């Protein structure tokens, strides 16, 4: 019997309330992880509430025969539910999305011209800004990049309706090509940006912990993270488009 089947059998012996209580810490971990880069208008309690809905959906729809552990499946559902809640709140002004798009366009212009990763000061100069102003825009746009990365991630949360519409060889081929392109884009990031993404998304370090690893402030980690996602959005523009 594989581990997924063992987990499902053990879970069936728990009551509904026990399952919810067991995975409540997972909901809170995901919420704390996301809230660090959200603006003040997004409340932790709202993320937790949305995450609980995602947990309930995961409990309802989990299929151990697919091979993924419940925690892996539930984490995707929980995070997706939180992201959807933030999107519905429409907390980000259009001007912030506009700034994020300008950053990506400037970065793409510099990298096409120089045929290498653009440096901070080069992108700032392309925008006609000093470095301090450029870093301020990175900080301002860091929250909206939470959603941008979710859009970029081919492994992100997908609704049941979307799953039903994506059957067939063409969507699977497109997804495989997208994943290959995204993997190449991440591999070609500057080392510090690549490390920040790895620590944040793979190891689930928070910004303060990453700052301790790099020896920089939490605010600087936020800027590096935003710059990495700007660079990815620039490289993947043919897939994601430049809509605000």
157-212 confidence digits (pLDDT tens): 333 434 444 455 655 666 677 778 788 888 889 999 999 999 988 888 888 899 99
Q: How far is CA 200 from CA 44, 155, 204, 219, in A?
A: 19, 16, 5, 14
Output DSSP code: residue 198.
I
Q: What is the mean pLDDT of residues 5-34?
A: 75
Q: Give one DSSP letter per residue of 70-102, joined into a string.
A: HHHHHHHHHHHHHHHHHHHHT-S-HHHHHHHHH
Residue 3 confidence (pLDDT): 53
CA distance 72 to 89: 26
pLDDT in tens, 47-98: 899 999 999 999 988 888 777 788 888 988 898 888 888 777 655 566 777 8
Q: Which CATH number fits domain 94-240: 1.10.3470, 1.10.390, 1.20.140, 1.10.10?
A: 1.20.140
* Percent of the chain whose pLDDT exceeds 90: 25
Q: Please give the C-alpha separations between residue 62 and each of 25, 44, 67, 72, 108, in angstroms, as whole numbers.
A: 19, 26, 10, 10, 41
Distance, in Å, from the CA atom of 141 to the CA atom of 155, rounded to the nearest integer, reads 23
Place of tokens 């993404």: 197
The DSSP letter of residue 119 is: P
Predicted confidence (pLDDT) at residue 136 exceeds the cutoff of 70? yes
Which two tokens mark 160?
Answer: 């049941």
CA distance 25 to 38: 20
* Domains 3-89 and 94-240 in one fold: no
Nearest of 66, 77, 82, 81 to residue 34 by alpha carbon: 82
Q: How close are the terminal C-alpha atoms of the chain, in Å?
A: 48
The tens digit of pLDDT for each residue in 107-131 reads 999 999 999 989 999 999 999 999 9
Angle at 129 between CA 128 and CA 131, to 5 degrees: 140
SS3 content of the chain, % helix, strand, coil (to 5): 75, 0, 25
What confidence score (pLDDT) does residue 13 get?
Answer: 58
- The rounded distance, in Å, linking the Cα atoms of 190 and 170 is 33
Q: Which residue has the higher pLDDT, 213 or 160?
A: 213
Q: Would you call 217 helix, strand, or coil by DSSP?
A: coil
Residue 80: the pLDDT is 86
- Is 10 in contact with 50 (CB distance < 8 Å)? no
- The domain ranges of the chain are 3-89, 94-240
Residue 102's closest CA among 133, 81, 78? 133
Q: Give the residue, 233 or 12, on which the prediction is more confident.
A: 233
- Fold assignment, 3-89: Rna Polymerase Sigma Factor; Chain: A (1.10.1740)
Q: What's the predicted TM-score (pTM) here?
A: 0.62
- Torsion sign, CA atoms 199, 140, 152, 54: positive
């Amino acid at each position: 019997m594989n581990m997924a089947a063992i987990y499902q059998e053990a879970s069936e012996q728990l009551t509904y309330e026990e399952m919810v209580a067991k995975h409540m810490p997972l909901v809170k971990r995901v919420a704390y992880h996301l809230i660090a880069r959200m603006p003040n208008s997004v409340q932790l309690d709202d993320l937790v509430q949305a995450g609980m809905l995602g947990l309930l959906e995961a409990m309802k729809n989990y299929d151990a025969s697919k091979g993924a552990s419940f925690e892996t499946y539930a984490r995707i559902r929980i995070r997706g539910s939180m992201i959807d809640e933030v999107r519905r709140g429409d907390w980000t002004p259009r001007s912030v999305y506009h700034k994020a798009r300008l950053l990506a366009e400037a970065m793409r212009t510099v990298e096409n011209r120089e045929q290498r990763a653009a440096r901070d000061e080069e992108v700032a100069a392309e925008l006609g800004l000093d470095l301090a102003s450029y870093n301020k825009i990175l900080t301002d746009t860091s929250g909206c990049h939470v959603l941008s990365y979710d859009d970029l991630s081919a492994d992100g949360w997908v609704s049941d309706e979307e799953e039903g519409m994506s059957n067939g060889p063409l969507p699977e081929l497109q997804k495989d090509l997208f994943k290959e392109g995204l993997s190449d884009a991440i591999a070609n990031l500057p080392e510090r940006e690549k490390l920040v993404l790895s620590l944040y998304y793979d190891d689930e370090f928070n910004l303060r912990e990453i700052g301790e690893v790099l020896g920089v402030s939490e605010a600087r980690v936020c800027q590096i993270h935003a710059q990495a996602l700007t660079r990815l959005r620039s490289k993947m523009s043919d897939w994601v488009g430049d809509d605000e």
